[in-house]
Amino acid sequence: MDSILVRGGGKLSGQIPIAGAKNACLALMPATLLSDEPLTLTNAPRLSDIRTMTELLSSLGAEVTSLQEGKVLAMASHGPINTRAEYDIVRKMRASNLVLGPLLAREGHAEVSLPGGCAIGARPMDIHTDGLAKMGAQIDLRDGYLHAKADGGKLKGAVIDFPFASVGATENIMMAATLAKGTTVINNAAREPEIVDLADCLRAMGAQIDGDGTSTVTIQGVDRLHGATHRVVTDRIELGTYMLAPAICGGEVELLGGRIDLLAAFCEKLDAAGISVSETENGLSVTRREDQIRAVDVTTEPFPGFPTDLQAQMMALLCTANGTSVLEEKIFENRFMHAPELIRMGADIEVHGGTATVKGVSKLKGAPVMATDLRASVSLILAGMAAEGETTVSRVYHLDRGYEHVVTKLRGVGADIERIKS
Ligand code: UD1
């Protein structure tokens, strides 16, 4: 298995291009199942999660062609559709559950494997299934698969109150509702930029959706959707991750394609920590104002709050802050697995339940560490860039799920990092 070798030290300078959002693209791709006309996505990221979704959609009978080295995905679902999403593919990635809504909307029935456990928490699917049940679907769990069937073969509009603003459930219900009979209202919907991006794409396909980006999304069902071409929104998590590189190492880096509105709460915390973020013609520029980072407290929340997907990377920054920071994880129950690895690098962190207390130390020290999930793995790379000596991050397949060309991008701004092939 490959690993990543990082030697800490120097300041960074230069530019990093930010890719299209993994999480947006994973929701946009299943939208191809809603129409028999072609759907083309541009600005797609080149990631193993996108290849997994390609494999899943192909197994369902969709055609997915990767063009321009993967930056363009040309999709079409005009042939017969297989409605069974197999465990062997679904288990690789939770976002596979996003085919449930589109399959049910198009074919009136679907059998989708439950994704199973995931390192950062249990992540059930009750919000998705309760919503679809309100729209007239009968859903049973048998043999590890959700067997869903729409009453009379067609979903009906409904008013759905989410107990929590789940991103995936908002996406699934929104897609299902585009072809349902009547109007669907989602109350307490997720407001993430990826939801707005999906709504933009669905509207380009002829869907009638209002209120995306707010807590109440209204979808008026239509008889059919047509083809479209859509550009995937900037990846705000990749953006935030690379914003932390000059914050941790010093120097100045421009993030091409970066937008503050995608990460306002995160930018506020960076400012409080002593990091300046300014808008440039082509994106955002990030630089550290003082020699030492200031401690800040962080609580993860649904958008527009501080994203859980940047909590591990922020912790890497705060390990060398002047003072004590408290990080509260409110979205996932088990998302501090990077803490023991950071402690191996000399960090002073105590975890109690969903709270991590980080006492800043003057310097981290390089060590062999192990990535436990996608965001944890990149937090260890960031920590390695700030540490004295060498850090080897193993199990980097997690990284390949969500960061394209991470080594090239960081080397481009002067980081001493390489991938060691096994
Ligand atoms: C998405 C993102 C993920 C991000 C998360 C929160 C994708 C592909 N993934 O995941 O990177 O960390 O949003 O911003 O977009 N929950 C339930 N029942 C459900 C659904 C969710 O209890 O039916 C719980 C989950 O266990 C979790 C919380 O709600 O504790 C948030 O989950 P959700 O917003 O659904 O996240 P995902 O869509 O899985």
Task: Determine if ligand 1 sits within 6 Å of the CB of residue 193.
Answer: no
Residue 355: its pLDDT value, please?
A: 97
* Exposure on the CB side of residue 339, measured as CA atoms within 13 A: 22
What is the residue with the minimal CA distance to atom 13 of ligand 1? 167
Cis upstream peptide for 124 (omega within 30°):
no
Q: What is the pLDDT of residues 1-15, one digit of tens each?
A: 899 999 998 899 999
User: In angstroms, what is the span from residue 114 Cα to ligand 1's centroid?
Assistant: 14
User: In angstroms, what is the span from residue 343 Cα to ligand 1's centroid?
Assistant: 27
Residue 116: its pLDDT value, please?
A: 66
Task: Assess whether pLDDT exceeds 70 at residue 197.
Answer: yes
User: In angstroms, what is the span from residue 80 Cα to ligand 1's centroid?
Assistant: 31
Task: Assess whether pLDDT exceeds 60 at residue 117.
Answer: no
- Return d(Cα 60, Cα 54) in angstroms, integer: 10
Residue 403: its pLDDT value, please?
A: 94
Identify the band that residue 183 occupies on the pLDDT scale cut at 50, 70 and 90. very high
Task: Assess whether pLDDT exceeds 90 at residue 392.
Answer: yes
Question: What is the pLDDT averaged over residues 377-386?
Answer: 96
Residue 372: its pLDDT value, please?
A: 85
Question: What is the pLDDT averaged over residues 123-131?
Answer: 92
Question: What is the pLDDT averaged over residues 169-195?
Answer: 98
Q: What is the pLDDT of residues 131-156, one digit of tens each?
A: 999 999 999 999 999 999 999 999 99
Domains contained in the chain, CATH given: 3-18+234-420 (3.65.10.10), 22-231 (3.65.10.10)
What is the residue with the minimal CA distance to atom 9 of ligand 1? 23
Cα dihedral: 386, 413, 43, 284 (round 10): 80
Task: Assess whether pLDDT exceeds 90 at residue 163.
Answer: yes
Task: Determine if ligand 1 sits within 6 Å of the CB of residue 123.
Answer: yes
Residue 37: its pLDDT value, please?
A: 98
User: In angstroms, what is the span from residue 225 Cα to ligand 1's centroid?
Assistant: 27
Q: What is the pLDDT of residues 277-292, one digit of tens each?
A: 999 999 999 999 988 9
118 is catalytic: yes
Q: What is the pLDDT of residues 89-106, one digit of tens each?
A: 999 999 999 999 999 999
Task: Return the ligand 1 atom nearest residue 124 CA.
Answer: 18
**Other Cβ atoms closer than 10 A to 289:** 11
The more confident residue out of 194 and 399 is 194
**Other Cβ atoms closer than 10 A to 63:** 14
Phi-psi map region of 18: left, alpha, beta (phi>0 left; psi -120 to 50 alpha): beta
What is the residue with the minimal CA distance to atom 17 of ligand 1? 124
Task: Determine if ligand 1 sits within 6 Å of the CB of residue 124.
Answer: yes
Residue 127: its pLDDT value, please?
A: 96
Q: What is the pLDDT of residues 216-274, one digit of tens each?
A: 999 999 999 999 999 999 999 999 999 999 999 999 999 999 999 999 999 999 999 99
Residue 192: its pLDDT value, please?
A: 98
Strands, sheet with 72-76, edge to edge from the N-terminal-most edge strand: 63-67, 72-76, 39-42, 228-231
Task: Determine if ligand 1 sits within 6 Å of the CB of residue 117.
Answer: no
Identify the band that residue 68 occupies on the pLDDT scale cut at 50, 70 and 90. very high
Residue 373: its pLDDT value, please?
A: 87
Active-site option among 118, 201, 267, 319 = 118
Residue 333: its pLDDT value, please?
A: 83
Residue 9: its pLDDT value, please?
A: 80
- Return d(Cα 399, Cα 258) in angstroms, integer: 21
Question: What is the pLDDT averaged over residues 177-200?
Answer: 98
Identify the band that residue 411 occupies on the pLDDT scale cut at 50, 70 and 90. very high
- In the DSSP assignment, the letter for residue 83 is -
Residue 334: its pLDDT value, please?
A: 82
- Return d(Cα 59, Cα 40) in angstroms, integer: 19
Instruction: Count how many residues are written for the chain.
Output: 422
Three-state SS across 157-200?
CCEEECCCCCHHHHHHHHHHHHCCECEEEEECCCCCHHHHHHHH
Q: Nearest-CA neighbor of 30 among 71, 59, 1, 9?
A: 59
Task: Return the ligand 1 atom nearest residue 125 CA.
Answer: 23
Tell me if 124 sits within 8 A of 166, measured CB to CB. Answer: no
Q: What is the overall mean pLDDT for the chain?
A: 96
Q: What is the pLDDT of residues 323-375, one digit of tens each?
A: 999 999 999 988 899 999 999 999 999 999 999 999 999 999 999 999 888 88
Residue 422: its pLDDT value, please?
A: 83
